[in-house]
Chains A and B, each alone.
Chain A
Amino acid sequence: MDTKFIIALLILAIPAFNFLLLGLGGVKMSHRTAGLIGTIGLTVVAVLSYYTAITYFFDYGCMEGAYQPVIGPFPDEANPAFHWLQFTDHLTLDLGIWLDPISVMMLVVISTVSLMVHVYSNGYMHGERGFQRYFAFLSLFTFSMLGLVVATNIFQMYIFWELVGVSSYLLIGFYYTKPEAVLAAKKAFIVTRFADLGFLIGILILSYYTNTFDFAVLTDVNGPVLTSPSGATFLGISVFSWATALLFMGGAGKSAMMPLHIWLPDAMEGPTPVSALIHAATMVVAGVFLVARLFPLYFILTPEVLTGIAYLAAATSLYAAVVACVQTDIKRVLAFSTISQIAYMLVALGVSGLGGHEGLGYMASMFHLFTHAFFKALLFLCAGAVIHAIGSNEMDRMGNLRKYMPITHITFLIACLAIAGIPPFSGFFSKDEILVAAFEKDKLIFFCQYFVAGLTAFYMFRLYYGIFWGTERDYGKHLPHEAPLNMSAPLIFLTVLTCCTGLLPFNELITSDGRPFDLHTEWGIALPSIAVGVLGIVVATVLYRRPNPLPQRMADSVRTLHRAAYRRFYFDEIYMFITKNVIFRRICSPVAWFDRHIIDGFMDFQAWWSNALSFRIRALQSGSLQFYVGVFIFSILVIAGLLIAFVF
């Protein structure tokens, strides 16, 4: 086995081992030991991931001028992966490791953010009950997410996909004594499971018509799947469109696209570092990763689905940005901002082409995924530090915190500038590429995203001013103070990443066909996008820097819209109506009635009559010898009489 695959296997094995160790032996450990084990394990994973990335990009990844996927762990060219299950002669389920630009990039993102969150959690979760359990779940999540990105086939991806879902469920419901957390965990699990149903059906359709699960075959531009696809249709639509659309349904569930986004804001009930890791940086981009992984399939076979994804994502980003403008819970604002930014990445994928400069959107999407992971994790961790200091999520309990928490203030400001698209921070570069790609493909989407960019700057700075400026609140005896070192160090590290990741040459490393292409900043688009970002910041400054009646007056002038946005445009209510009034009452209730009264009734009737009969004949077993003898004699007489009457 090659060294690179041993390292890749180690990257997976260390978190898995940590999970078992902390999960089984955690109760016996002190908090300090458990935190140390988790953090050191993740440090090793991060170092190995960086090593893998460097060697992949600069050593073995590049062949004939293009980055090729490297599949392991076995050296055999035909069957590099481990045969796990043989479904039919053609269809096997393998477990293997797939290293290509995006999976290596994801390894770096996941291990970095996870390491930061581990370090941060040592301070944030200090003294919490279930500390060891928390670290065990974090390790499980890290393992699953790493497994997801290196999957060689779609079924392996599905397995890790579900593992990610379950660890997300466990971590959202970490405070299982809080009813809201339990409800939120349940909601997240059910919604994503419902979406994964589509994912599974999509996998089955796809594998039925292509006879393979392997990404290598499915995404081979010159392979049989993409050059001579099956012509089968269902309801007048190609089966491949069905399959890719259903696959995307799974991705939409994980990535919180409309209308499956409802779980993500509620998922903020979990601990804040978890929100940073799972619900901002890594798990929620699984949908983006899925589409990127299968991009040739989407682009060549089903471009109409890809266009649909672009429009859906554009609508979602607009919706989430509008909702984010009026939320008061700081984590909710960040959650909607996350939805909006993920939608940005999917828009970029939706407008992308394949190969060369056409594939700008693909590259921009991955770039934005990369940069977003860091600055959004940074925002969440800052929010966590603020919540840690204040003890509340609500913005109206905060204000003028900049003098108490200078480090958090600066890092949060930088992250806000990054997400607002202000150079030289990383968000500017990636967002700019997305806007360029959208501009070249579809003007409507471009203007939508352009508007969203302005909104993003506005609501982020509304949040910023709401927390760090404005009126000072009554904080009681315990004045807010700067977070301890193990919390502020990750903030500073992520700030550094936020400042410099924008300069990475993504156009040479991660492209739709593996070949680098020339890229130069389109100032014609970049300048207006900077302008709209600055405009959003200025508006927010005017409205929120100092307490004034303007925001209230504006809210009153569009009261209906404001209330609708505050209630997230009633999506939850619509869902409740559909499930409770339509599905439960019209469909489930009659079925339940049938089950309870007809099927159960039949069984109950059988039980009832045998019970009643037994009750009656129970008296016969009285134990009275004389009664037995009487019955015995009587029966003998009857039998003898019958014999004489009918036999002799």
Chain B
Amino acid sequence: MDIPMSFYLLVSFVMFFAGVFGFITRKNMIAMLMSLELILNSVNINFVVFNRFLFPEQMEGMFFTLFIIGVAAAETAVAIAIIINVFRSVNNISADDIQKMKY
């Protein structure tokens, strides 16, 4: 049972930057939302791993993860509501085309 902490962190880094890449390059807003979920997940892994390796007697990391999952759920729900609404009004969910709010 000796997988070093850095292995877990490595997985989390890759996931994080994959999320960043997706968030920047994707045009579809749902795809952007999915990239966002990736980023949140990688952060969750980080919390849990640090909790487990560095402070195994405490539960802060776990609770942070728990709360992040809750917030993510809320955020996703609202975001999808907005996306659906936007889709209904402009029939498109490409982030480049949603520019009406700018003016």
Give chain A's interface residues, CB within 8 Å of chain B.
Answer: 623-626, 629-630, 633
Contact = CB atoms under 8 A, between A and B. Distances in A.
Interface residues of B, number: 9
16 contacts: A623-B99, A623-B102, A624-B95, A624-B96, A625-B95, A626-B23, A626-B24, A626-B25, A626-B32, A626-B95, A629-B20, A629-B23, A629-B24, A630-B24, A633-B20, A633-B24
Nearest to A621: B102
A624 B25 CA distance: 12
Contacts of A633: 20, 24
Q: Interface majority SS on B: helix, strand, loop or mixed?
A: helix
Nearest to A633: B20
Contacts of A630: 24
A624 B27 CA distance: 11
Given A626-B32, A626-B95, A630-B24, 5 more contacts: A623-B99, A624-B96, A626-B23, A633-B20, A633-B24
A630 B95 CA distance: 15
B25 to A, nearest CB: 8
Contacts of A629: 20, 23-24
Nearest to B26: A626
Nearest to A622: B102
A628 to B, nearest CB: 10
A633 B24 CA distance: 10
Contacts of A624: 95-96
B39 to A, nearest CB: 10
A633 B96 CA distance: 20
Interface in B44-95: 95
A625 B26 CA distance: 11
A144 to B, nearest CB: 60
Interface string B1-43: 0000000000000000000100111000000100000000000
Q: Which of B24, B25, B95, B96 gathers most chain A CB within 10 Å? A: B24
Contacts of A625: 95
A629 B23 CA distance: 8
A622 to B, nearest CB: 9
Nearest to A628: B24
Contacts of B24: 626, 629-630, 633
A416 to B, nearest CB: 82
B92 to A, nearest CB: 16
Nearest to A627: B24
B63 to A, nearest CB: 26
Contacts of A623: 99, 102
A626 B27 CA distance: 9
B78 to A, nearest CB: 16
A633 B20 CA distance: 8
A630 B32 CA distance: 13
B75 to A, nearest CB: 15
List of 10 A-B pairs having minimum Cβ-Cβ separation, nearest first: A623-B102, A630-B24, A626-B24, A633-B20, A629-B24, A629-B23, A626-B95, A625-B95, A626-B23, A623-B99
